[in-house]
Amino acid sequence: MVKIHLSKLLGERKWSQADLVRMTGIRPNTISEIYNELVDRINLERMDLFCEALECDIDDLLEYVPNRRRRVKPLD
């Protein structure tokens, strides 16, 4: 699974979601869904804006955590 660390990064900076809305122009509902990890897909342009605003790398924002049970089939 992929974890989104937007809430952690905002908390470390003591920023609100509204602060990020003002900085990036991304809709509040979109930021809230990403913040709460309720999304299946993330637009790369938004990730770019988040990284620029938060002055972070993409690996600070996203983390791959292996699933407990493998979901892909091996190639034969």
Q: What is the pLDDT of residues 5-62, one digit of tens each?
A: 999 999 999 999 999 999 999 999 999 999 999 999 999 999 999 999 999 999 999 9
Query: What topology does CATH give the domain 2-64?
Result: 434 Repressor (Amino-terminal Domain) (1.10.260)
Asked if 15 contacts 6 with a C-beta cutoff of 8 angstroms, the reply is no
- Model's pTM, two decimal places? 0.86
Task: Say what the pLDDT of residue 76 is.
Answer: 77
Task: Say what the pLDDT of residue 61 is.
Answer: 97
The residue that leads in pLDDT, 21 or 71, is: 21
Task: Say what the pLDDT of residue 34 is.
Answer: 97
Closest CA to 50 of 64, 40, 7, 63: 7
